A and B are shown apart, each in its own frame.
Chain A
Amino acid sequence: MTEKPVRVLVGKVGLDGHDRGAKVVAQALRDAGMEVIYTGLRQTPEQIVETALQEDVQVIGLSILSGAHMQLLPPLLEMLRERESHDIIVIVGGIIPKEDIVYLKENGVAEVFSPGSSTEQIVAFIKQKMGENQ
């Protein structure tokens, strides 16, 4: 019996165009055997949720470096709850101040990966979380 690969949406939310991190992570997840749906730039929270549901992903990885995370992420998490999809694991990468990390984690973000995090850490985190959810 072969294990079904994990499906991950990697997206850039907001207007920020810095996609180096998102693309590197997407490629690393793919190399780790996951199926990656990469949305490209300028996604609204609504678009991310819509794509995640359509693509039936288990994980959403969002990259945001513009500082708009506190305005964009809470509505996204709220929408996931409304659509009863809060079992989707949401992880975030970017420049996020410490107090915001605390808030986001209290409100449904599974983990925030700050600059300097390795792709290995991200892969390991997803695998561990998926193991817990089985």
Chain B
Amino acid sequence: MSEQNNKEKLNRVKKQWEEKVNKALDKYPESKEFKLDSGLKVEKVYDPLALEGFDYLSQLNWPGEYPFTRGIQPTMYRGRLWTMRQYAGFGSAEETNERFRYLLDQGQTGLSVAFDLPTQIGYDSDHPLARGEVGKVGVAVDTLADMEILMDKIPLDQVSTSMTINAPAAVLLAMYMAVAEKQGLPLDQIKGTIQNDILKEYVARGTYIFPPKESMRLVIDIFAFAGEKIPNWNMISISGYHIREAGSTAVQEIAFTLANAIAYVEAAMKAGLEVDQFAPRLSFFFNAHSNFFEEVAKFRAARRIWARLMKERFGADNPRSMMLRFHTQTAGCTLTAQQPDVNLMRVAFQALSAVLGGTQSLHTNSRDEALALPSEQSVLLALRTQQVIAHEIGVTDTVDPLGGSYYIEELTDHIEEEANRYIERIDEIGGAVEAIDKGFIQQEIQASAYRYQKEIEEQERVVVGVNRYTESGEQPIDLLKMDPATSRRQIERLKEVRLSRNQGEVASALQDLRKAAQGEENLMPYIMTAVKAYATLGEICGALRDVFGEYQQHVIL
């Protein structure tokens, strides 16, 4: 009864307030219509009336409790900060190893390996299609010998390593495990993540090799193998990051990512894996874009949707199966080539949204990335940005400090609802694999990307330094220069490895792999054997190409 009275009172007072506002608006009209990327109209102000029927226990609950809206751990950053993990890799294994050890010395707490494009697409450095690409956007890894150099003097039982590798994830994981064995470590002590998320490659990132069905088999082989041998390894990082970079909205980012996640869970269960066995080792990767509150709400909504999906749809019992753990990277596509130092501020705000959204690890972009690969100085500033957030501004002192904000809760509910609507549509199409095959997801992303660009060109969306507050002339900034000899040296090393190994051993390992690929066995043990014999990445992927064929992109505009 008193609640009812209270509501009436609120409505009455609000009405009076609105009359005043309307008068004010006659004199001072608002500057524009306010809306989110996903189309939601943003109200002047949010109040308790918007949250009518809001149930704290079912919508939020305490941190560490289902549905984990407020965070997956009860104490969050009070116990342990997020992992500061800067994505790095360029040139040769030696140079990248040096950058890794530098970052660890500067207080970074985890490694993140960027591979060059030939490695990501399963070509050796001397393949004709590798022309010009060796060591460019990441480090070139052709054989186990390169991985040994890459991880030299880095104790693999003490750092966690994330590897952005998808189509040939099985091969790179096998190499990493082989290096750990050579360091004398039991495999259950290594910690890390492989991206291994092939579905988003078809729609957003482009480094696919095999057709979807065969690719899904490799993903699930890794699930089964890793679950048994490397229990502390995240065997997939289901990624919305690239979907967002390709132009999607915040809602689409989590909807398409979770739709992909559903496809992986279904495939794993179909292969006979127990949901509570593998689900705790699934991890996610999201983008921190520029609309601050929308991003915070997006992270919270993603956690809630996932918890409910795992419990209600897939019947998970283990709470860890329901916890959405995620890495975040700030939005590369928001960085500008104009006035690059301004990017420092963009990155800081985006990083803050990830922290307030409860991320488990974070990469902050460098200010010069719209111009070149980041210089050491720029990477250091990006890392320092995280350290300021972690230690100076008090946002880690309490868990989910924005929880209960009328606006944040309204946004979280809205994003959950809209994302669920997309997931239902994808279910109707027949799941993510089918929706990708039909081009549905690609078209949705493309439409959003085009709208975003139009908004910038029509000045509806302000980008400082690009369409407003522009400056003529350029700010000088020191850019990283790539050593042109890297590619030649890499190819020389590859040739040496090819000459010095036991050829018979390599040939038979590849033959066994080919045969196994034609059947239904788990391919990981065969890949391990080939890797340890110093078969090259190109040879291993080539054997699989022979059996699986290659994916042909159908272009949709």
Contact = CB atoms under 8 A, between A and B. Distances in A.
Interface of A: 14-20, 23-24, 26-28, 30, 36, 38-42, 44, 66-72, 95, 97, 114-116, 118-120
27 contacts: A14-B117, A14-B133, A15-B123, A15-B130, A15-B207, A16-B117, A16-B133, A16-B137, A17-B201, A18-B205, A18-B206, A23-B446, A27-B446, A41-B553, A44-B128, A67-B137, A67-B372, A67-B373, A71-B132, A72-B132, A95-B337, A95-B370, A97-B372, A97-B479, A115-B337, A116-B337, A118-B456
Interface residues of B, number: 42
Contacts of A71: 131-133
Contacts of A19: 206, 246
Contacts of B46: none
Contacts of A28: 450, 453
B449 interface: yes
Contacts of B112: none
B467 to A, nearest CB: 8
B337 A44 contact: no
A66 B133 contact: yes
Nearest to B456: A118
B207 A17 contact: yes
A69 B137 CA distance: 13
B136 interface: yes
B269 interface: no
B345 interface: no
Contact of A15 (B133, B201, B245, B333): B133
A125 to B, nearest CB: 15
Contacts of A115: 335-337, 370
A20 B136 contact: no
Nearest to B451: A24
A20 B207 contact: no
B118 interface: yes
A67 B245 CA distance: 18
B359 interface: no
Contacts of A20: 245-247, 333, 449
B132 A14 contact: yes
Contacts of A26: 557
A16 B131 contact: no
B312 to A, nearest CB: 35
A66 B117 contact: yes
A68 B463 CA distance: 28
Contacts of B371: 95, 97
Nearest to B339: A116
A27 B557 contact: yes
A19 B557 CA distance: 11
Given A70-B132, A72-B131, A36 B372 contact: no
Cβ-closest 4 pairs across A and B: A17-B206, A71-B132, A68-B132, A15-B117
Most A Cβ at <10 Å: residue of B128, B132, B557: B132
Contacts of B137: 16, 66-67
Contacts of B247: 20, 24
Interface in B395-451: 446, 449-450
B557 A38 contact: yes
A63 B201 CA distance: 18
A19 B201 CA distance: 12
B557 A68 contact: no
